[in-house]
């Protein structure tokens, strides 16, 4: 039996892999390793006392909680935006497409100032929300709003190509066979877009964890209440507590890596499960 060698565009697996390791090592591995080395200047009791201080624990809770809530909101509403952009043609569609990408290009400090102005007690949104007893600016809700703003494009741009690949005839066929709109979504569409939704959630969550510029203005930066981890790290650097700053950064790095690892495993499992479905 004749065999055919598999051809690749890039010349040589070993050369390509060596370049990959070098590039990733120089940009990611070595800088992050220096973070751990700096932390080793602390003894274990000093490290533990720093990373478990009440102020640090409050900052962890706010950063991870608000990032999770923002990524979850973007999964729901980002899917809706992607659905409208893919399934409908309407005047101004290109304009909406551009607006979705705006958080990518907009400097985060500009976004933070804009959101703070809108949601302050005299802002366009804030004056009505505070009259109803709902405070957004200078609260944890404001942090979640800012993180939702910067995370929206990740979900929309991840889900949109998958929706474009799903032919509208699939929905019509399901309806012809007697499926309700809810059954069509849960049994036909949702399994197909689930891996893309998980990818969008992961990207939005990871982006929110490290966000600083858009949050620093609207949060109010009150220790134990509205202080995020990146701001706490900057505060320690301004106080020349470099070892303390790197210790907290290491905790964020390890926790973020583990969370992203879990989400990626779930994403691979969902993708394999989808491929194993009959007719996939």
Report domain extents, the chain. 33-276
| Model confidence, pTM | 0.84
> Which pLDDT score is estimated for 1?
45
Q: pLDDT digits over 148-162, tens only?
A: 999 899 999 999 888
Residue 3 pLDDT > 60: no
Q: Is 72 exposed, middle or buried (0-12, 13-18, 19+ CB in 10 A)?
A: middle
Query: What percentage of the chain has pLDDT greater than the value 90?
Result: 19
Q: How many CB atoms lie within 10 A of CB 26?
A: 10
Residue partners of 174: CB distance under 8 A and separation at least 6: 183, 184, 187, 188
- Sign of the C-alpha dihedral, residues 76, 256, 153, 65? positive
Q: pLDDT digits over 12-50, tens only?
A: 778 888 888 899 888 888 888 888 888 888 888 989 999
Q: pLDDT digits over 260-276, tens only?
A: 788 778 777 777 776 77
Residue 167 pLDDT > 70: yes
CATH architecture, range 33-276: Orthogonal Bundle (1.10)
């Amino acid at each position: 039996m004749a065999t055919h060698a598999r051809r690749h565009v890039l010349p040589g697996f070993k050369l390509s892999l060596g370049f990959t390791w070098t590039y990733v090592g120089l940009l990611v591995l070595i800088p992050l390793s220096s973070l751990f080395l700096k932390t080793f200047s602390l003894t274990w009791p000093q490290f533990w006392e720093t990373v478990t201080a009440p102020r640090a624990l409050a900052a962890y809770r706010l950063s991870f909680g608000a990032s999770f809530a923002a990524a979850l909101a973007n999964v729901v509403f980002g899917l809706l935006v992607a659905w409208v952009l893919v399934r409908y043609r309407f005047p101004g569609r290109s304009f909406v497409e551009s607006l979705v990408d705006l958080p990518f290009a907009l400097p985060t400090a500009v976004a933070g100032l804009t959101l703070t102005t809108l949601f302050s007690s005299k802002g366009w949104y804030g004056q009505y929300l505070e009259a109803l007893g709902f405070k957004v600016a200078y609260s944890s809700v404001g942090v979640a709003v800012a993180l939702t703003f910067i995370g929206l494009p990740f979900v929309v741009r991840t889900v949109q190509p998958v929706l474009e690949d799903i032919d509208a005839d699939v929905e019509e066929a399901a309806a012809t066979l007697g499926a309700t709109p809810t059954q069509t979504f849960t049994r036909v569409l949702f399994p197909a877009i689930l891996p893309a939704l998980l990818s969008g959630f992961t990207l939005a969550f990871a982006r929110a964890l490290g966000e600083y510029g858009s949050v620093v203005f609207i949060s109010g930066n009150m220790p134990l209440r509205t202080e995020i981890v990146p701001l706490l790290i900057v505060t320690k650097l301004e106080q020349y507590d470099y070892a303390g700053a790197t210790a907290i950064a290491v905790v964020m790095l390890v926790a973020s890596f583990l969370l992203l690892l879990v989400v990626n495993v779930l994403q691979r499992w969902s993708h394999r499960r989808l491929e194993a479905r009959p007719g996939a």
